[in-house]
């Protein structure tokens, strides 16, 4: 499964001193791009004529992340449909492995006109598969 580490800086935090929802969503997006870029660049997406757009985000927060924390973000393909797919992600504080957040993001594939289209078969190989921990 794909993993990246993100360091939390004071500028990533709100006035209460913790990573807020908007920043966490950004961290999750950074992790998804880090998973994809070795296999497909943003320029490849533009040329393909098919784009994934976020349809639904389900996120649960389990613990705070604060300045100085290193967060490990795991990402993987959780499921596919005809025109859609979902990715699972979790965020853990590296120091103690505590789960900070868990998310499932559903995407729909659209064409240049914004209409749903089948997910290209080769996309299934772009994503690491999600594995639950033993």
Active site residue 90: no
| Bridge partner list, 74 | 3, 90
User: CB–CB of 32/76 below 8 Å?
Assistant: no
Selecting among 14, 44, 70, 111, the annotated active-site residue is 14
Cα separation, 55 vs 77, whole angstroms: 15
Q: Return the SS3 of 5.
A: strand
DSSP state of 81: -
Task: List, in sequence order, every beta strand (DSSP E) within the chain.
Answer: 2-7, 51-61, 70-80, 84-93, 99-110
Q: Provide the annotated active-site residues.
A: 14
């Amino acid at each position: 499964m794909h993993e990246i580490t993100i360091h939390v800086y004071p500028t990533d935090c709100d006035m209460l001193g913790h990573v807020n929802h908007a920043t966490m969503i950004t961290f999750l997006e950074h992790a998804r791009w880090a998973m994809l870029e070795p296999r497909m660049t943003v320029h490849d997406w533009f040329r393909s004529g098919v784009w994934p757009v976020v349809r639904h985000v389900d996120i649960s927060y389990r613990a705070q992340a604060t300045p100085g924390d290193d967060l490990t973000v795991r990402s993987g393909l959780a499921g596919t449909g005809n025109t859609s797919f979902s990715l699972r992600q979790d965020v853990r504080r590296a120091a103690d492995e505590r789960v900070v957040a868990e998310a499932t993001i559903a995407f729909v594939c659209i064409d240049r006109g914004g209409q749903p289209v089948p997910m290209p078969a080769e996309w299934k190989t772009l994503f690491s598969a999600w594995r639950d921990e033993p």
